[in-house]
Amino acid sequence: MNGPTLNNRICVSIADPSVDVALAAARKAAESADVIEIRLDSLTVPAVQPFIDGVAKPLLFTCRPQWEGGQYDGEEVARIDLLVEAVRAGAAYVDIELRAEEDSRRRLLDAAKGSACRVIVSWHDFKVTASEQGLGKVFQQMYRSGADIGKIVTTAREYRDVLRVLNLQDEAAEMEFPLIAFCMGPVGVISRVATCGLGGYMTYASPDAGAATAPGQIPVAALRRMLTELAHAG
């Protein structure tokens, strides 16, 4: 049986307070990225349509609440309204948290039915990496959530943390469930590259000239070079 092939799908996260600045950054990042994530929670006045109209690459819209490491602190209904708007406007992906209210997830999943938009259900731990059993429990909840794609991202304190998270790709492959899985932090940087060769659906990078949206993000041009060199080495 052949192992997974190298997957070079890179998503660049854009988090700026101004729509105009974020749009310019997204257009620049599109030169190297496969997907552009627009962090609606970072925008002073969140907007969807300017990015749909102004960026040619597939777009992922995220409105991350403060309780999951984001900046959004408004009403939950309004947050989901923005993501539903993105679905209807033609987004390629939207992201909602596994910890979100069940009604919120169900509303977004229902909105995406019959559309080309795929729903990523995500789970982040900005402090540690859970045990193998704990990660397995999160994975099973994610699989049963109705997600089109899962995303499990933790913070690595040692190399064993990285291995536990990357090993989730084995279970994901067996269940034919697309999974994004890697670690944040200095120890986790290698996982952002390694996941691409282990069946990971996508990895995330920062803009070359912009700020990272999570600890350990690699600038997109550097990450693209690494993946290209690995592909040639194989």
User: How far is 170 from 117, CA to CA, in rounded Å?
Assistant: 26
CA distances for 178 relative to 24, 45, 72, 120, angstroms: 30, 32, 27, 10
Q: What is the DSSP letter of 197?
A: G
User: How far is 106 from 98, CA to CA, in rounded Å?
Assistant: 11
> CB–CB of 12/35 below 8 Å?
yes
User: How far is 106 from 37, CA to CA, in rounded Å?
Assistant: 22
List the beta bridge partners of residue 206: 219
151 is catalytic: yes
Beta-strand (E) ranges in the chain? 10-14, 35-39, 59-62, 93-97, 118-124, 149-155, 179-184, 203-206, 218-219
- List the catalytic residue out of 28, 57, 113, 124: 124
Radius of gyration of the chain (CA): 17
* Main-chain phi, psi angles of 122, to 5 degrees: -120, 155
- List the catalytic residue out of 28, 127, 151, 232: 151
Q: Tokens 């995330």 identify what position?
A: 204
Instruction: Just list the catalytic residues.
Output: 124, 151
